[in-house]
Structure 1
């Protein structure tokens, strides 16, 4: 039996098939560095390059993203992820507090004259202590240290509730929205079923 594709209703509700998740994605950009006061690293924190360490990267990505259902890199095969992180135009950093990694900053310069803030996040318990603002300061400094004409990022409605506001306050301007539909990574075994409890698992009837 062939499943008929679901048409998106642009003026109302669209039912999702069991096992699917959906999120509203907001795309943001800036074309010159904003006039923000620089922020120093909170005491005891330092940035360490981790492009070469796939295990460390995955561990940190999962610690940060599991609560918000970050799945893009969770479902990505090791070879594909290693190819991205191994590209000299990609920079991935861990924010370390001396006992472990507590934040992630990833910048992608593969598009000519552009930079993407691929990921910026903190582990639970660190948000609200100035570490995020420091990571953004570093992101802006490193991005505009190169001859880029555009710095861009996207966030979604599954992310931390303050994420979009944080980007807007950092100088980004929203320019596009999209709806992303994907297989629930928890049902595929890439994330535990208890991840992101604010997004119920809907597997359908048994």
Structure 2
């Protein structure tokens, strides 16, 4: 990632049928100090998803990520995604409330001494209810339980408007910014054309 070409000042044309976002990369190199009193147990549970849970994982990825145009896991062939979920160093969890899946949490330990918070989110009707704070405590506990030296995450301007501030409050520090251009997932069939209504669909331009 460090060898990306640098952009020059000014505007650049985004190719037809593509989307663009500004990506901010964040990290922490030690567990943050606990803040405040111990909270009550959260009203949900985490269920590990593995290779056999491919359909459940894809459905949950769409449910959580469609409003923000998440697409990367949807473009992986099933056999490639099954290998990811089956890896002992990838911990993918469904956040469950009763019989309903309401969120996704994925930790990737495949790089030695590191953990990437690869995916973190709740379905739309659970956002803004304070559930994310408890879920982030789970992230920090599970990530730093392993002997890592670095926990990192990235977010972009297509994500929830509060995502960047949320990660910073959790103890992450921004260290790099980049621009990502990708085919619009609503035009490739990865997501319905109604997804991400806040991002104009420029299908005919």
Q: Which runs of 4+ in 1 moved over 6 A?
A: none
**Paired residues for 1:1-206 under 5 Å:** 10-37=8-35, 39-43=39-43, 45-52=44-51, 53-205=53-205
- With structure 1 as the length reference, what TM-score do the two structures score? 0.91
What are the ranges of 5 or more consecutive residues in structure 2 without an aligned counterpart?
A: none
- CA-to-partner distance for each residue in 1:7-58, whole Å, 9 max, x for gaps? 9862111111210110000000000011134544433x11111124111111
Taking a change above 3 Å as real, the CA distance of residues 199 and 29 of structure 1, as seen in their structure-2 partners, is: same
> Aligned with 1:178: secondary structure?
strand
Indicate conservation of the 8 Å contact 1:106/1:120, yes or no: yes
- Equivalent pairs, count: 198
Q: CA deviation at 1:93?
A: 0.7
What are the ranges of 5 or more consecutive residues in structure 1 without an aligned counterpart?
A: 1-6
2: CA distance, partners of 1:46 / 1:190: 29
- With structure 2 as the length reference, what TM-score do the two structures score? 0.92
2: CA distance, partners of 1:39 / 1:120: 20
1: CA distance, partners of 2:42 / 2:112: 33
> Aligned with 1:17: secondary structure?
coil
> Aligned with 1:84: secondary structure?
helix
Taking a change above 3 Å as real, the CA distance of residues 39 and 137 of structure 1, as seen in their structure-2 partners, is: farther
> Aligned with 1:70: secondary structure?
coil
